[in-house]
Amino acid sequence: MKFSTDALLSFKRAFRFLGASCAVRPLPLLLLLLLPLLLLPLLSARPAVPSRADLVIINGAEPESLDPAIITGQADGRVVRALFEGLTRINPTNAAPEPGLAHRWEISPDGTTYTFHLRTNAAWSTGQPITAEDVVYSWIRVLDPNTAADYAGQLFFLKNGEEFNSGRIKDPAQVGVRALDAHTVRAELTGPTPFFLDLCAFPTLAVAPKFAIEKHGDRWVVMPPMPVSGAYELVEWRLQDRIRVRRNPRYWDAANVHSSVVDFLSMDSPMTAINLYLTGRADIIWDKSLVPGQLMDALRRRPDCHTFDYLGTLFYRYNVTRKPFDDVRVRRALALAVDKRRIVEKITRGGERVAAHFTPRGMPVYDPPAGLDYDPDQARKLLAQAGFPGGKGFPVFQYLFNTGKTDEQISVEIQAMWQRELGIRMELRQAEWKVYLVALRALDYDVGRSSWVGDYNDPNTFLDMFMSNNGNNRTGWKSTRYDELVREGNRQTDPRLREKFLREAETLLVRDELPIVPLYFYAGIHFYDSARIEGIHPNLIDEHPVYAIRKKRGSEPVSSNR
């Protein structure tokens, strides 16, 4: 094989040329090994991120997208809310909806027709005016089956919204949103929806640029310049690194946008987050999942740690299609034997409140019903009535939960409580996230850890999920009475009357029928130094418009370690 010997020889010659001919002289070898060091300057040669932003926020997991129609996560939503605005926006102090792109609106007496008047000075960051047509386009786009938006359900309150999304209606003109003129939008709803103005501030309903989306398709958010309707425009989006935004000078309220350049750092590791914060590299941590649980006690004592109530509930589901959980006495007995106080005081320790009902307190015009308290004696009696005195004959069952330190500790604690109080044996079944989700959905579990965070400030975001046909029910529990109560409640225009119906529905959920058992309400937790940062106000939906946040005048970034 003459050819290959030649090739080999020339290969050797090439090596010799490099000075490593036989790899015998250590010096050239050493130089070869040091070669990677030459790469170092590349690191500093990367463009952008020239200086520290005015505000550095550790935001949480990497956003799945910045497309308002597509996102579902809260971390995604916080960035998207800075970039895109809807007809309303949320007020920084109380998170109530206030005028956004629409400066006023009229609501028909029956609560089903909303007429919005857009600001005439609203414009895209690229200069084009924002018109009523843009609003119609954005909402139809969310419902369009081709967009495949997870959160399309947020617009099922529009007349024919669900029908259009399911493909039963092909003509978007039949959906209940219309442009009356360039600056007037009319929305027709399927019923009075007291939280519709809250929904208008939700990212899914934000206004997105038709001209950019039609030009670039699904990738429009990564094609600069991305036209935005909100207070900030996108400077740079580096995956697993940061999203940098700067003040949008064309925003209608640009004068009240306080910080010019803001970095949202994406992060998964709580330790790294806290390290960056403590060394002064970040100003704010505002994601609950980024607080290291082991350090909770020490961190909560810090003056820059802020905890508050928000719309999140940790609970467990019963699979009511399986014996013995088809018996409500069994479900109630188990619920009464859980000492929830112990869970929040010994395990979570982040200021969580014990939950006897499913909807957290504090929502407008809704006072949740009383649920069940801790009562192990009553629990034993009920279990005996159900045919299992002292736990005798109770089948061994499983508690399904996902991988996570806290959830593991809670399940072990519940296991011990039920064993001790009721004499029943439960096995723990810890599953990887997707496996856990599939098991919940397929009703392939006995008792399963669950959680829910409200999307808007109204009990409906908690109560409609247990209606018989809701995909999030996942208990096998179907109650026509419950369905009727929620539906009837949502048909009311009188808030007091509505409350009555919804309360009755929730009473079924947490006292009479008990397909679920609430354990505790989540507590929100933020880290920021209130001597230096202002404009963050605790609220139930844990949303804090970035435009309102700023460093106090004269406060320098402090680099302190302890």
Partner 1 sequence: MYFLKRAIFLLPLLLLISALAFALVRVAPGGPFDKEREPSTPDIERNLKAKYHLDEPLWQQYLRYLGGLARGDFGPSLKYRSHTVNDIIAQGLPVSLILGLLAFGFAQGVGIPLGFYTAVRKGEWGDWVGSFLAILAVCVPGFVVGPLLVMVFAIHLGWLPVALWESPLHAVLPTLALGLYFSGRVARLMREGMLSTLHEGFITTARAKGLSEPAILIKHAFRLAVLPVVSYAGPLLADLLTGSFVIENIFRIPGIGVFLVNSTQNRDYPMIVGLVLLYAVLLLVLNLLVDLSYSVLDRRVKHG
Binding residues among 121-150 for partner 1 as defined by CB under 8 A: 145-150
Cα within 13 Å of Cα(13), Cβ side = 6
Contact 214, 144 (CB under 8 A): no
Tell me the residue length of the chain.
562
Residue in 107, 328, 354, 435 binding partner 1, rule: CB under 8 A: 435
Backbone angles phi and psi of 20, in degrees to 5: -120, 35
Give me the 175-214 binding string for partner 1, x by CB under 8 A, dash otherwise: ----------------------------------------
**Which own/partner contact pairs does 141-150 have at CB distance under 8 Å and 24+ positions apart?**
141/69, 141/208, 141/213, 142/69, 142/204, 142/205, 143/172, 143/175, 144/172, 147/69, 147/70, 149/69, 149/70, 149/204, 150/70, 150/72
DSSP 3-state percent helix, strand, coil across the chain (nearest 5): 40, 20, 40
Q: Is 560 in the site for partner 1 (CB under 8 A)?
A: no
| CB of 223 closer than 8 Å to CB of 234 | no
Closer Cβ to partner 1, 220 or 232, answer by number: 220
Beta carbon of residue 462, minimum distance to partner 1 (angstroms, whole number): 12
Q: Which of 115, 107, 127, 113 has the alpha carbon at shortest distance from 180?
A: 115
**Interface characters, 39-68, with partner 1 (x: CB under 8 A):** xxxxxx----x------------x-xxxx-
CB of 30 to partner 1, least distance (A): 7
Residue 525 phi/psi, 5-degree rounding, is -145, 130
Give the shortest CB-265-to-partner 1 separation in angstroms: 7
Asked whether position 268 contacts partner 1 by CB under 8 A, the answer is yes
Name beta bridge partners: 307: 525
User: Which tokens hold the place of 193?
Assistant: 């929806």
Residues 239-258 that bind partner 1 (CB under 8 A): 239-241
The nearer residue to partner 1, 73 or 423, going by C-beta atoms, is 73
Among 166, 321, 385, 555, binds partner 1 (CB under 8 A): 166
Among 123, 222, 261, 328, binds partner 1 (CB under 8 A): 222
Quick check: 167 binds partner 1 (CB under 8 A)? yes
Residue 481 parent element (H or E): helix 480-491
Residue 432 class from Cβ within 10 Å (0-12 exposed, 13-18 middle, 19+ buried)? exposed
Interface region with partner 1, contact rule CB under 8 A, candidates 390-398, 406-414, 465-473, 536-544: 465-473
Q: Which residue type, as a one-letter code, is found at position 37?
A: L
Which structure tokens are listed for 393? 């004959």
- Determine if 170 is a binding residue for partner 1 (CB under 8 A): no
In the complex, what is the shortest distance from the CB of residue 200 to partner 1, in angstroms, rounded to a whole number?
18
Q: Which of 86, 88, 125, 162 binds partner 1 (CB under 8 A)?
A: 162
CA distance 335 to 326: 14
Pick between residue 23 and residue 365 the one whose CB is nearest to partner 1.
Answer: 23
Ramachandran bin of 167, using left for φ above 0, alpha for ψ from -120 to 50, beta for the remaining angles: left
Question: Which position among 278, 328, 354, 386 is part of the footprint of partner 1 (CB under 8 A)?
Answer: 278
261 contacts partner 1 (rule: CB under 8 A): no
Report the residue from 93, 275, 398, 406 that binds partner 1 according to the rule CB under 8 A.
275
Nearer to partner 1, 152 or 379 (CB): 152
Residues 59-118 that bind partner 1 (CB under 8 A): 62, 64-67, 70, 72
CA torsion, ordered 174, 487, 540, 157, to nearest 10 deg: 0
Interface with partner 1 includes 19 (CB under 8 A)? no
Among 104, 215, 238, 323, which residue interacts with partner 1 (rule: CB under 8 A)? 238
Task: Considering only residues 386 through 425, tell me which ones interact with partner 1, judged by CB under 8 A.
Answer: none
Tell me how far the alpha carbon of residue 17 is from its chain's centroid: 59
> CA-to-CA distance for 194 and 364, rounded, in angstroms?
10
Candidates 104, 346, 425, 441; binder of partner 1 (CB under 8 A) is 441
**Is the Cα dihedral 372, 374, 376, 377 positive or negative?**
negative
37 makes contact with partner 1 (CB under 8 A): yes
DSSP state of 252: T
Single residue of 10, 120, 174, 279 touching partner 1 by CB under 8 A:
279
Is residue 24 part of the contact set for partner 1 (CB under 8 A)?
yes
By rule CB under 8 A, what count of residues binds partner 1?
81
State which H helix or E strand residue 43 sits in: helix 40-44
Q: Is 35 in the site for partner 1 (CB under 8 A)?
A: yes
Minimum CB–partner distance for residue 167 and partner 1 (Å): 7
